[in-house]
Amino acid sequence: VCGIIGYIGSRPAASVLIEGLRQLEYRGYDSFGIAVNGQKIGLLKRNGRIPEDFPEINSFLGTAGIGHTRWATHGIPSDRNAHPHLDCSGRIAVVHNGIIENYLSLKKELEQGGHCFQSETDSEVIPHLIEEYSGKGLLEAVRRATGRLTGSYAFLVIEEGGRGRIIAAKKSSPLVIGCGDGEMLAASDATPILDYTERVIYLEDDDIASISPDGVEVFQNGCRVERPASLIEWSREDVKRGGFPHFMEKEIFEQPEVLANSVRVLTELPDILEGVKGLTLVACGSSFHAGLIFKYLLERVAGIPVRCELASEFKYHPSPARDPVIAVTQSGETADTNSALQVARSYNCPTIAITNVLGSSVTRIADMVIFLKAGPEISVAATKSFIAQCGVLARLADLLSGGKYRTTLLKANVAISDVLRAEFEDAVDLCSGARSLFYIGRGAFYPVALEGALKMKEISYIHAEGFAAGEIKHGPFALLSEDTPVIAVCPPGETYEVMNSNIKEIKARGTPVIVLGRRSDREISRISDLFIPMPEGDIITDIMASTVILQLLAYRTAVRLGREIDRPKNLAKCVTVE
């Protein structure tokens, strides 16, 4: 996953590109670079993050350029492997997001033809291929080059002395064009475009666009095509931190509103799901956990079986029944999820995508799209998008069960507002000194435990695992000690009694237990070492409240340990490689 940006207009391109890249860093941030079209192509590539203060860019003259922020796949993070990459003459510069699957054979062929490569990346074949075909002009050269590429790409090209334009090409990786007044942008998403214009064009796969300051021409197979512009729904304020120290905290605090909106997204049961006998969900990471919560919620009230599959494993299973397949993906760009949905299509299953990003790749694959409307999520850790997924999926369970969750869904946001004020510094103390953390829950609170552990390991770098509470005695018990606290999610309900016994068994091994339980529950508070109260409610409010407490526990622990909150090491916001 990488972020790309291009600018052409009347402003100094270098500063537009660097500011844009800062907003795209959530996509990858191990190195960055820009190329600006002045008298010659001016190139700057650097390993590491973009410095706060960066006076060097003032020496880059030119009002057109391209930039890149990288999440390494082929070749280590280094100056050499950073984009933009150049052709042999140094006159053509390219930034690329995606994977060129046939790069090894292309590289061999190009090297035999005399091309010299400077990096270990797959992307560098693109400028050399364009150079190879450059006799008939840049646009035609890009068209011919794309014909040779297999894999996924969104790339931008500038040519020294070129006719004042940027050429863009897209296949299976996102690319948005921003249409300003006398200036145009192209970027991996709309976030960096918002500072200049709200009018955007979402390119389709196999589009090639020629972008000048005055507009854009889009081509498919060499023929001109129309791509209508639309208005971005997110505001500039939505993508700024709004006074919070980190995007993650801001996004956690937005959740009451996000949940209230998400449960209203579906006004009726989608036609595709009318009379369904079974459902399959495919997703990764947090989105998979939201899918598991849905499975528990739906199966307990509607008797409709739900298969919830890790998207990366879906293709290894035998072909499913013709049940509808729902892909759950915040970004809409997760390669495993999107290819699982393609597999489902090949089985002729009706497909639905639940996503937060309009115009993302998954929206082009699915028969039907449900938009989460959580607003842009910048922090790598999914928080408000997870709550929005839970809200939309719980509403779906409600519609499929003839209204079993209706009343509770409409007030679940109040439970989140309640726990946002919770103080639990003693639990943060315990977690930040821990060697490992184990999260346990049963029923719908098992995926809540999985999600809590994922959040903790992702941003605090403390080893954390979630378990179905019943499983912990089947092996993980051997790891329990004083410095491996257990976090138990234990609201009242069918799982309460047995969770109560599990907690006592863990405590009997000298392991401290932090329990999330209802505020009025004296018994559970008495047996826990540390107790974090949740408001009174029901299964829906307990799911939402416990999820948010575990997000806050991870966030506060990571802050205590001085971690990089919004951009954890080695991770990226969307994972566009399988």
Contact map string, positions 446 to 475, toward ligand AGP, x by CB under 6 A: ------------x-----------------
Contact 141, 133 (CB under 8 A): yes
Q: Of these, 97, 134, 330, 460, which contacts ligand AGP (CB under 6 A)?
A: 330
Angle, alpha carbons 298-299-305 (nearest 5°):
110
Binding of ligand AGP at residue 284 (CB under 6 A)? yes
* Token duo for residue 462: 């403390």
When CB distances to ligand AGP are compared, the closest residue is: 285
Identity of the residue, 125 or 362, whose beta carbon is nearer to ligand AGP in the bound complex: 362
Which SS3 state, helix, strand or coil, does residue 32 take?
Answer: strand
For the question of residue 2 being annotated catalytic, the response is yes
- Distance separating alpha carbons of residues 121 and 118, to the nearest angstrom: 9
- Are 282 and 325 in contact by the 8 Å Cβ rule? The answer is yes
Contacts (CB under 6 A) with ligand AGP, residues 77-136? none
**DSSP annotation string for 358-369:** TT-HHHHHSSEE
User: In the complex, what is the shortest distance from the CB of residue 342 to ligand AGP, in angstroms, rounded to a whole number?
Assistant: 15
Span of 16-24, 78-86, 93-101, 284-292 interacting with ligand AGP by CB under 6 A: 284-292
Q: Interface with ligand AGP includes 495 (CB under 6 A)?
A: no
116 is catalytic: no
Q: Which of 250, 295, 457, 573 is catalytic?
A: 573
- Tokens representing residue 376 in the block: 């842009």
- Residue 285 within binding range of ligand AGP, rule CB under 6 A: yes
Distance of closest approach, residue 569 Cβ to ligand AGP, in angstroms: 13
Which window, 112-120, 198-206, 238-246, 285-293, contacts ligand AGP (CB under 6 A)? 285-293
Q: Which of 173, 197, 337, 413 binds ligand AGP (CB under 6 A)?
A: 337
Per DSSP bridges, beta strands 3-8 and 31-37 are unpaired
Q: Considering the rule CB under 6 A, would residue 532 count as an interface residue with ligand AGP?
A: no
Residues 485, 436: contact at Cβ < 8 Å?
no
Subset of residues 367 to 396 that bind ligand AGP, contact rule: CB under 6 A: 380-382
Contacting residues for 346 by C-beta, under 8 A, at least 6 apart: none
Both tokens of 26, joined, read 């959530």
On whether the CB atoms of residues 127 and 94 are closer than 8 A, the answer is yes
Tell me how far, at minimum, the Cβ of 2 lies from ligand AGP, in Å.
15
Q: Which residues contact 105 (CB under 8 A, 6 or more apart)?
A: none
When the beta carbons of 401 and 576 are compared against ligand AGP, the nearer one is 576
Contact 31, 70 (CB under 8 A): yes
Which position among 81, 197, 331, 502 is part of the footprint of ligand AGP (CB under 6 A)?
331
d(CA 487, CA 470): 14
Q: Which is nearer to ligand AGP, 146 or 188 (CB)?
A: 188
Q: Is 188 in the site for ligand AGP (CB under 6 A)?
A: no
Check if the beta carbon of residue 324 is closer than 8 Å to that of residue 345.
Answer: no
Residues designated catalytic:
2, 573
Q: Which residues bind ligand AGP (CB under 6 A)?
A: 284-287, 329-331, 334, 337, 380-382, 458, 574-575
